[in-house]
């Protein structure tokens, strides 16, 4: 199939590379000349395991191309994905200006039947707006060209996006058109061989499915964090509770790890956008607001625990292990590390920070900031630091020589935002271990 994808960010680039990898003829379009030039040169703007090799291989084979030429891209393809950003507006709602601009572009240049696919995460009703915008531009051109608009939300986890695209549990498509169903089956056929993963539904239900999925996962995280805060008060260990409830197949073990809260480009934005959508139709989303509130508390509690341990951070150096919001990505959007670092710097402290993949992004975010140093390893971060805070559960942080660590820190304080360690191991070597919901066996505060 001839496919065009508008947007070369996380979703567009992964989708383009994966669709090209099974033989489709794909053009990825962007408005940023530097980004397009870099992609043509094999320079990938994000870190995602396996993506760079996938892009280079398919670009080299001529199946994946990058372009600024929107007219050519529209006329090239029968299937056009919209995968541009939908950043949160001031009130938390999703900003659709980029999505609707692409719709205008499609209407301006289309010359025959097209399927326009909303791949971006968008509020319920967006497909109707895209359809109206395309139709309006066609009317201005005095053209009567048939087209359809459908919803095909992405369910990609950062750090496992290629696996999710190629071996995902479901492919959701919102449409009432049999023609669109047929074309979408053709598009995804190479990834739909083992069993039929395609789920067709009406457009609005598909749009809501994406928000509901992320809100549900965020709810599980915030619920477990609420339990962890209660466990601290009651002298229970949330890790034991996690295993106890996770063994119930109705609950499962995924997304029930207590810690410093969720971040990234999806959960915070999507929970806020869904809450805003509810309010716009006259419904007060009490649970969604609670999910957000618990998450904000968890992020702030990293600094609260640190101050409880040290008394003050003024004039002290805090080692930070992990800057990305989760492992296997360089994404620092809404990361707990940023809340911690900002609080330490504002209180007169200094930060020695290390992350296996997010150093370049961190340097961009904190360019010109005084008091923060970026170091080349986890060992360099703790050398002479007053305390250690762990913000991301990278594999290289999971096994530590605690006797060595105790010799590196001026104060024997470890604040673990991801509950990585057995509290008893740290206590044996004289380290104060401040974790989340680990009961009477550790030093912890709510």
Find the helix packing angle between 33-40 and 51-60, rounded to 10°: 80
According to the model, what pLDDT value does residue 91 have? 76
Mean pLDDT, to the nearest integer, of 119-148? 96
pLDDT tens readout for residues 362-400: 999 999 999 999 999 999 999 999 999 999 999 999 999
Counting other chains too, the contacts that 270-273 makes at CB distance below 8 Å and 24 or more residues apart are 270/121, 270/210, 270/211, 270/214, 270/215, 270/218, 271/214, 271/215, 271/218, 272/88, 272/92, 272/93, 273/86, 273/88, 273/92, 273/93, 273/94, 273/121, 273/123, 273/211
Three-class secondary structure of residue 65 per DSSP: strand
DSSP at 94: B
Residue 78 clears pLDDT 80, i.e. is over it: yes
Residue 443 clears pLDDT 60, i.e. is over it: no
Among the listed residues 148, 153, 143, 111, the one whose alpha carbon sits nearest the alpha carbon of residue 130: 148
Residue 25 clears pLDDT 80, i.e. is over it: yes
CB 61: neighbour CB atoms within 10 A?
11
Residue 21 neighbours by CB under 8 Å, 6+ apart:
54, 57, 58, 63
Three-class secondary structure of residue 58 per DSSP: helix
According to the model, what pLDDT value does residue 444 have? 42
Mean pLDDT, to the nearest integer, of 11-27? 98
Percent of the chain with pLDDT over 90: 95
pLDDT tens readout for residues 300-313: 999 999 999 999 99
According to the model, what pLDDT value does residue 87 have? 84
Q: Does the pTM exceed 0.75?
A: yes
Among the listed residues 436, 14, 74, 408, the one whose alpha carbon sits nearest the alpha carbon of residue 238: 436
Encode 96-133: b = buried (16+ Cβ within 10 Å), e = exposed: bebbbebbebbbebbeeebbbbbbbbbbbbbbebbbeb
pLDDT tens readout for residues 295-341: 999 999 999 999 999 999 999 999 999 999 999 999 999 999 999 99
Q: Whole-number mean pLDDT of the chain?
A: 95
According to the model, what pLDDT value does residue 92 have? 78
DSSP symbols for 304-336: HHHHHHHS--TT-EEEEE--SSSTT----TT-H
Among the listed residues 432, 381, 377, the one whose alpha carbon sits nearest the alpha carbon of residue 402: 432
Per the CB < 8 A criterion, the answer to whether 225 and 436 are in contact is: yes
For residue 209, give the H/E element and its range. Answer: helix 203-234
Read off the pLDDT band of 446 (50, 70, 90).
very low
Mean pLDDT, to the nearest integer, of 348-373? 97
Among the listed residues 98, 77, 102, 78, the one whose alpha carbon sits nearest the alpha carbon of residue 89: 98
Residue 32 neighbours by CB under 8 Å, 6+ apart:
none
Residue 445 clears pLDDT 80, i.e. is over it: no
Residue that has been written with the tokens 């716009």 in this structure: 280
What are the backbone dihedrals phi and psi of residue 423, each rounded to the nearest 5 degrees, phi first? -55, -35
According to the model, what pLDDT value does residue 195 have? 93
Residue 440 clears pLDDT 70, i.e. is over it: no
Measured distance CA(124)–CA(248) in Å, rounded: 33
Catalytic residues: 266
Per the CB < 8 A criterion, the answer to whether 198 and 192 are in contact is: yes
Measured distance CA(134)–CA(227) in Å, rounded: 48
Find the helix packing angle between 203-234 and 238-246, rounded to 10°: 140
CA atoms in the 13 A half-sphere facing the CB of 358: 28
Among the listed residues 18, 81, 84, 8, the one whose alpha carbon sits nearest the alpha carbon of residue 51: 18
Torsion of CA 268, 270, 276, 281, to 10 degrees: -160
pLDDT tens readout for residues 411-435: 999 999 999 999 999 999 999 999 9
**Across-strand partners of 67?**
29
């Amino acid at each position: 199939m001839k496919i065009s994808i508008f947007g070369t960010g996380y979703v567009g680039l992964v989708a383009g590379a994966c669709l090209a990898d099974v033989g489709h003829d794909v053009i990825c379009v962007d408005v940023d000349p530097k980004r397009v030039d870099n992609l043509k040169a094999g320079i990938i703007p994000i870190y995602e395991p396996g993506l760079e090799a996938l892009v280079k291989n398919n670009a080299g084979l001529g199946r994946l191309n990058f372009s600024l030429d929107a007219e050519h891209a529209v006329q090239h393809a029968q299937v056009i994905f919209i995968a541009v950003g939908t950043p949160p507006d001031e009130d938390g709602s999703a900003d659709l200006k980029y999505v609707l601009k692409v719709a205008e572009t499609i209407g301006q240049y289309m010359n025959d039947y097209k399927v326009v696919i909303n791949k971006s995460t968008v509020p319920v009703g967006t497909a109707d707006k895209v359809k109206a915008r395309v139709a309006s531009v066609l009317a201005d051109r005095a053209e009567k060209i048939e087209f359809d608009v459908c919803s095909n939300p992405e369910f990609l986890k950062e750090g496992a996006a290629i696996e999710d695209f190629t071996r995902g549990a479901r492919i959701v498509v919102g449409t009432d058109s049999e023609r669109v169903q047929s074309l979408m089956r053709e598009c995804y056929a190479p990834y739909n061989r083992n069993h039929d993963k395609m789920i067709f539904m009406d457009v609005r239900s598909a749009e809501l499915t994406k928000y509901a999925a992320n809100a549900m996962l965020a709810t599980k995280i915030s619920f477990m964090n609420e339990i962890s805060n209660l466990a601290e008060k009651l002298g229970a260990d949330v890790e034991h509770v996690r295993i106890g409830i996770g063994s119930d197949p109705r609950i499962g073990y995924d997304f029930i790890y207590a810690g410093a809260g969720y971040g990234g480009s999806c959960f915070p934005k999507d929970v806020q956008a869904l809450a805003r959508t509810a309010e716009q139709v006259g419904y007060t989303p009490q649970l969604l607001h609670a999910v957000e509130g618990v998450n904000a508390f968890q992020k702030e509690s990293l600094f609260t625990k640190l101050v409880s341990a040290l008394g003050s951070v003024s004039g002290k150096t805090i080692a930070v292990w992990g800057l990305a919001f989760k492992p296997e990505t360089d994404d620092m959007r809404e990361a707990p590390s940023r809340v911690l670092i900002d609080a330490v710097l504002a209180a007169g402290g200094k930060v020695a920070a290390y992350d296996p993949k997010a150093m370049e992004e961190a340097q961009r975010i904190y360019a010109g900031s005084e008091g923060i140093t970026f170091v080349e390893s986890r060992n360099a971060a703790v050398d002479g630091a007053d305390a250690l805070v762990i913000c991301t559960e990278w594999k290289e942080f999971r096994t530590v020589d605690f006797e060595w660590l105790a010799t590196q820190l001026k104060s024997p304080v470890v604040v673990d935002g991801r509950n990585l360690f057995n509290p008893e191991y740290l206590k044996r070597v004289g380290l104060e271990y401040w974790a989340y919901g680990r009961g009477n066996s550790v030093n912890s505060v709510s």
